[in-house]
């Protein structure tokens, strides 16, 4: 008989997830995600500038920044600025979010613009990077809509629907969507970022004090894709797609 | 006939203000304030350590940190860490918040503990520092309650109820509680921090391209105290004081 | 009978103050102030550049920097650079000095130039920020003279004569111009910056472990304005104004 | 007929790899790896201290630092220190190397010691992180031998033999061990870190402008494991294992 | 016939030099030197701590810090802290001053104390590092006197009288004590630090766009020693040595 | 009878020195020097840009950077970036190397280009700065050859052949080319940089806990020039000069 997890979930179950759009009065797109007790505020900002290597190329850029409020966690952590240097974990995560969300957009059709997705973790209970990617996609899509609505772009340059989940191995068993306690005890921690068509954009599996076999990798991928498909459905619902946008999403798969 | 302000307020009117307590699952005290469109998340963290100059003194410390999310504002601002140095305006504000909230607590009765109030501005439409102080007081009081409830302190070492408002002079007229547009156009910008008894903890008036007379100062103080008294009533309501606490607050006046 | 202070001053008395102009061979204006044992060297530098937000506006800028020599104080303090980050107190003070001295100049008539007032505290015995503002005004005025004399400006774009003093409440009594020992013991510490016409540019009152009433504020203002008027007289004497300049100062009141 | 790569390799072929041990006169273990034109100098340093979270635990730590000489690359890159902040890519890589090499050691048997593996890239032609891990393992093992030989440890606390390779998808084809030119053109870039027993310690696959299917993942893993097994053979040869050590390696599989 | 320099000096002539002692109210020793138009304020601070490598050794330390006020020079230079990093020239100079003044003291007899000599350049017209060393010696000696007078040391642990001058080669001619204009045009720039007995503590000669022969080195040394002997006489006069101290200085030669 | 040194050398003997050219696949010039156990990798990079003060002048620039690998030394030293600030010793050394190598080139004939010599110490056993200068000259000359060969310059703008050695006084005896143990025990430490014609570019002598007389200076210079002449011969051999280049070197003397 299957063991249930502390919160009563089955191994392949997601925690309750909800997206609230338009939470920032000023940002071109924004979403607040509640994913179990994890809460991340994602704001998409459009700016008419690109990094040096793209100047004059006509192409745009998508990037992300990630940070945790000091008391997002059980114990207060000092702010990065009070240590005077970027937190290496945060840098690594924001690079992952940036790469993942860049895969959502046809950059050459974006024009010489940068969309920055700020992901600020208000409360952290595991899975903050995958929550950031999944909610960041919503903020990003609303920013693309804003660009079209304000006639800065003729159409929405969507390339892929992007969502992400974490999967782990805890006490020898593969489980979807670890909360903080599970994550702390996990032997293996994996993050999957996938397109609407079920292709990988990123797959990162780490043995934290353990290792994993090819068979376990297969199960991680199976659980991950099932969770991601569920999240992608919620993203589309939250976005209240019109007919044309629904077509656009289908074409991307 | 009196001119109304853009949002229909009279000169001495506050914007709609509400406090939500307990918004952080992990902090010992927390409050989210909505003050017009300004939104600040305040979290109070209790730690068993004090700055070097208090070690061995038996006395405690209260301090604050203040930061704005990059897209709290109309235009995105870079994070402090990406500039590699603290923002001077933020440093100045967090010193003000810290001084103000220290005045709320009998530090020698706190024991060798530090309570840090993190004030993170989710959305900024003027008055973020006074909103931080006013909501920070609520988070701080809940942290003091937590200390008593967990039997780390025999009683709540409250010294003063603390609240704050901004007052400005716009187009020659003194006005309470400026929003961002009013603040941008103000000749004079003042911030008042006062106790439940109507004494000043801080009074900062700045002529931004203008100056102010003693008569105008008197009106600034009058408007300020009227606004602060209103906020203090809301603080007490939000805190759902029991009988003993109500007494405690009265004694502080 | 009135209590005298440690150095024999009455409550509303200033310490001996003197200004020495032209102490820097290279700066466009400079002044060394001795204010009791406090000594600050102020140098005004004219540069043909403005901050980004003024480029192309035709308008100029006035800014200030403030720093203490490591052994200006009783105990040696490490240099800011050896801690790798700006001192928050210094940042706050230099922002105050900058705002105060900007109020002295018609910036749109300055042309696209920046005047930087460097205030370096050689010895600190209380009141360094108000001494910096008062001596900084002299250095600034001499730099404006230099601009006119070198035919870079048709006239001196003076807007206000600016001076500053500190006032505090010590052992329940309001006193003008605190020295370090008095400042350390003060319950309330206030800094006033005023124009020749007796209007406020800045008023900052802080309850350091205490609070102050409206009646005390009135007395703080009274003592402050009396001290500032005295300092402004000394500034005019030190500047050795000619007839036209004397007129200019009068018009500013 | 199979297409050969620019240097004549087949898709699943490694570049010429060689390890030189003992290149540092002072380090407790060291190895210089030549991997195609990539050259990394790895030095293992033993220090009698551990990070704060391990103090008093009796357990040890393994960590890594990674840096490139400024002219390791086609174009000179500024040093991290001249930019004043750590390079985010370097931070991410050194965290990967550290996690990977920690998996090689029974940390509780190491005693309260830290072994730091410094990986300095003298010349970079793709695959520097996997070369660092593979050569870092050799330096680390020699440092463990040094500890036993100097009677600081009763036996060598080896947990896993660790090696790593990169695999990529270039022009739609999966290829082992990309050189710089191939890497620049790759749609997918993966790094695999595996044990002697063929289990994963780390698997990182990134779609750089592309994505990858589950079938492609399978091929990436197949090529990767074949390359890693070859490298592990070279590591054992380079280490000149005695009989007991050979046993130890076998037990780890 | 000998060519005179711009200010009428002969090649081997010093500029007018004067030392003012006791200029800092708080420092244990201090001296302000005027050397031509160069002005440096040196303050010696005694602290009861030593760098880690001396803890428990019973021996003391002497160190120096050097900085220029922003407008000490013809053009304003940004403060080190506003660039966020130490100025390399300043670091180099303060290391030189520190080494030079350490040679003045019997460190093992100083006890576990550090004497820090802060050298802040108020005005710079060439020769600031040699002026700092020469005036720093006076501040240092007064700090040693303070230690004896306060019965922290049984006697003054003087090892050497230390003074310094610059010598340069300008337009092919060797000259003592270059001012800024001469220094800017110099082909060779040398700094000599010598004891009362005429031995070298430091000799630094640099070809700035030129080179120098052994014969020129001999002349540099001859001019340098003659200047240093003159400065050492002024140091002794400024210090107002009593009989015992005069003996002490003689013994050091 | 003459005492031999630990490694059997006479007082005026060099350690075994060898230069390997072309060790970097990408740099325009490079050399690896082995000097006793000291090993430095020097890479010369040509870039089409100059520092601000040379823009538009038509003249070029030569500069150097110096760093040690963390485990180049007996004990591991933290990287500069992990301390967040440049190492003062490294800054000083790289300024010396830069000045020395600038003396090798007719900068006005270089065109608006910068040649940066990166000197990375792989292993440190004393004399790393003089080894860097001596090997840096070889890398620099090869970069100049590259510029001529690629028709960016009509001829090689050599001004001086530059080499350097250290000389010290150990236990009262002057010795050429100190190794780390000798250097640690030295009373005097000197570094000499000289041209092919035997003129000084730099001469730095430091009494480390001792002092030196004029007679000792003369011996330091004698030993130094003899060592430098030997190194210059090795540089010319390593460079495999053709007939025209041999002439060029002679003309520089």
pTM of the model: 0.94
- What's the rounded Cα separation, in Å, for the pair A201 and B100? 49
Q: What residue spans of E3-47 are helical by DSSP H?
A: none
Query: Would you say residue B86 has pLDDT above 90?
Result: no
One pLDDT digit (tens) per residue for chain E, 253 residues: 566 898 899 999 999 999 999 999 999 999 999 999 999 999 999 999 999 999 999 999 999 999 999 999 999 999 988 888 888 999 999 999 999 999 999 999 999 999 999 999 999 999 999 999 999 999 999 999 999 999 999 999 999 999 999 999 999 999 999 999 999 999 999 999 999 999 999 999 999 889 999 999 999 999 999 999 999 999 999 999 999 999 999 998 8
Stretch F27-36: mean pLDDT: 98
| Look-up of token digits 């003087």 | E158
Stretch F151-162: mean pLDDT: 97
Tell me whether strands F61-68 and F114-123 are parallel, antiparallel or unpaired. parallel
ipTM: 0.95
What parts of chain A have a pLDDT lower than 50? none
Residue E208: per-residue pLDDT: 82
- What's the rounded Cα separation, in Å, for the pair C86 and B85? 8
Please give the DSSP secondary-structure letter assigned to residue D28.
Answer: S
- What's the rounded Cα separation, in Å, for the pair F128 and F165? 10
Å from A171 to nearest chain B CA?
26
Task: Sheet with F17-21: list strands edge to edge.
Answer: F17-21, F29-35, F38-47, F114-123, F61-68
Closest-CA residue of B relative to A122 is: B24
Query: Would you say residue F94 has pLDDT above 90?
Result: yes
Residue D23: per-residue pLDDT: 97
Within 8 A of C94 by CB-CB distance, chain E residues are none
pLDDT band of F109, cuts 50, 70, 90: very high
Beta bridge mates, B123: B39
Residue E3: per-residue pLDDT: 66
Three-state DSSP state, C156: coil
Kindly determine whether residue D41 and residue F122, on different chains, have CB atoms separated by under 8 Å. Answer: yes
Question: Can you state the angle between helices B214-239 and C214-239, rounded to 10 degrees?
Answer: 140
Kindly determine whether residue A205 and residue D200, on different chains, have CB atoms separated by under 8 Å. Answer: yes
Residue to substitute from B203, B205, B216, B226, interface C, most C β-carbons within 10 A: B203
Radius of gyration of chain E (CA): 18
Residue D118: per-residue pLDDT: 98
Kindly determine whether residue E200 and residue F211, on different chains, have CB atoms separated by under 8 Å. Answer: yes
Query: Would you say residue C125 has pLDDT above 70?
Result: yes
Contacts of E47 (CB under 8 A, 6+ apart): C76, E113, E114, E115, E116
Number of H helices, E strands in chain A: 6, 9
Q: In D, what residues contact A, Cβ < 8 A?
A: 85-86, 88-89, 91-92, 95, 99, 103, 160, 195, 198-209, 211-214, 217, 221
CA C225 to each of CA C8, C14, C137, D107: distance values in angstroms, whole numbers, following the listed order:
21, 12, 17, 70
Stretch C245-251: mean pLDDT: 96
Residue F2: per-residue pLDDT: 59
Å from E237 to nearest chain C CA?
25
Q: In C, what residues contact E, Cβ < 8 A?
A: 24-27, 30, 37, 41, 43, 45, 47, 65, 67, 69-74, 76, 79-82, 84-86, 116, 118, 120, 122-123, 125
User: Of C70, C116, C118, which is closest to E65 when you measure between CB atoms?
Assistant: C70
Kindly determine whether residue F203 and residue E214, on different chains, have CB atoms separated by under 8 Å. Answer: no
Record the tokens describing residue D197, joined without a space.
């027993």
Contacts of F184 (CB under 8 A, 6+ apart): none
Kindly determine whether residue C122 and residue E25, on different chains, have CB atoms separated by under 8 Å. Answer: no
Contacts of E200 (CB under 8 A, 6+ apart): E192, E193, E194, F205, F207, F211, F212, F213, F214, F217
Query: Would you say residue B1 has pLDDT above 70?
Result: no
pLDDT tens, residue by residue, C38-82: 999 999 999 999 999 999 999 999 999 999 999 999 999 999 888
Kindly determine whether residue B217 and residue C213, on different chains, have CB atoms separated by under 8 Å. Answer: no
pLDDT tens, residue by residue, F38-66: 999 999 999 999 999 999 999 999 999 99
Please give the DSSP secondary-structure letter assigned to residue E198.
Answer: S
Q: What residue spans of B18-160 are helical by DSSP H?
A: 80-83, 88-102, 128-149
Within 8 A of A211 by CB-CB distance, chain D residues are 103, 160, 195, 199-201
Residue to substitute from F25, F41, F71, interface D, most D β-carbons within 10 A: F71
F42: part of which helix (H) or strand (E)? Answer: strand F38-47
Please give the DSSP secondary-structure letter assigned to residue B5.
Answer: P
- What's the rounded Cα separation, in Å, for the pair B169 and B210? 9
Closest-CA residue of A relative to B41 is: A122
pLDDT tens, residue by residue, F2-12: 567 988 999 99
User: Of D45, D72, D125, which is closest to F71 when you measure between CB atoms?
Assistant: D45
Q: In A, what residues contact D, Cβ < 8 A?
A: 85-86, 88-89, 91-92, 95, 99, 103, 160, 195, 198-209, 211-214, 217, 221
Q: What is the dihedral of CA D240, D244, D249, D250, to 10 degrees?
A: 120
Within 8 A of A72 by CB-CB distance, chain B residues are 26
Å from C202 to nearest chain B CA?
5
Query: Would you say residue B163 has pLDDT above 70?
Result: yes
User: Of D25, D43, D76, which is closest to F45 when you measure between CB atoms?
Assistant: D76
pLDDT cut 70: percent of chain E above it: 99
Closest-CA residue of D relative to F120 is: D69
Å from C4 to nearest chain E CA?
24
Stretch F98-106: mean pLDDT: 98
Q: Give the side-chain half-sphere CA count within 13 A for E194.
A: 25
> E45, exposed or middle or buried, with CB in 10 Å at 0-12, 13-18, 19+?
buried
Å from A23 to nearest chain D CA?
30
CB contact burial A39-69 (16+ within 10 A = b; e otherwise)? bbbbbbbbeeebeeebeeeebbbbbbbbbbb
Please give the DSSP secondary-structure letter assigned to residue C54.
Answer: G
Kindly determine whether residue A24 and residue B71, on different chains, have CB atoms separated by under 8 Å. Answer: yes
Kindly determine whether residue F91 and residue E88, on different chains, have CB atoms separated by under 8 Å. Answer: yes
Closest-CA residue of E relative to F104 is: E209
pLDDT tens, residue by residue, C72-119: 999 999 998 888 888 899 999 999 999 999 999 999 999 999 999 999
Å from C226 to nearest chain E CA?
29
């Amino acid at each position: 008989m299957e063991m249930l997890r502390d919160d009563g979930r089955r191994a392949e179950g997601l925690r309750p997830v909800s997206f609230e759009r338009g939470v920032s009065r000023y940002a071109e797109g924004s979403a607040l995600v509640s994913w179990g007790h994890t809460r991340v505020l994602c704001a998409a900002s459009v700016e008419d500038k690109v990094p040096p290597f793209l100047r004059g190329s006509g192409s745009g850029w998508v990037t992300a920044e990630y940070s945790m409020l000091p008391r997002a966690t059980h114990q207060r952590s000092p702010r990065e600025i009070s240590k005077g240097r970027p937190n290496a974990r945060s840098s690594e995560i924001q690079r992952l979010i940036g790469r993942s969300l860049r895969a959502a957009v046809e950059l050459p059709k974006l024009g010489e613009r940068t969309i920055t997705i700020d992901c600020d973790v208000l409360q952290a209970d595991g899975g903050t990077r995958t929550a950031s990617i999944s909610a960041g996609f919503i903020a990003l899509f609303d920013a693309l809509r804003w660009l079209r609505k304000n006639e800065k772009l003729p159409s929405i340059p969507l390339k892929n629907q992007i969502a992400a989940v974490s999967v782990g191995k805890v006490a020898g068993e593969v489980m979807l969507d670890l909360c903080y306690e599970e994550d702390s005890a996990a032997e293996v921690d994996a993050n999957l970022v996938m397109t609407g068509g079920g292709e990988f954009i990123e797959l990162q599996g780490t043995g934290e004090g353990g290792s994993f076999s090819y068979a376990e990798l297969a199960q991680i991928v199976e659980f991950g894709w099932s969770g991601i498909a569920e999240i992608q459905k919620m993203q589309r619902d939250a976005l209240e797609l019109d007919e044309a946008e629904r077509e656009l999403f289908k074409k991307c798969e």
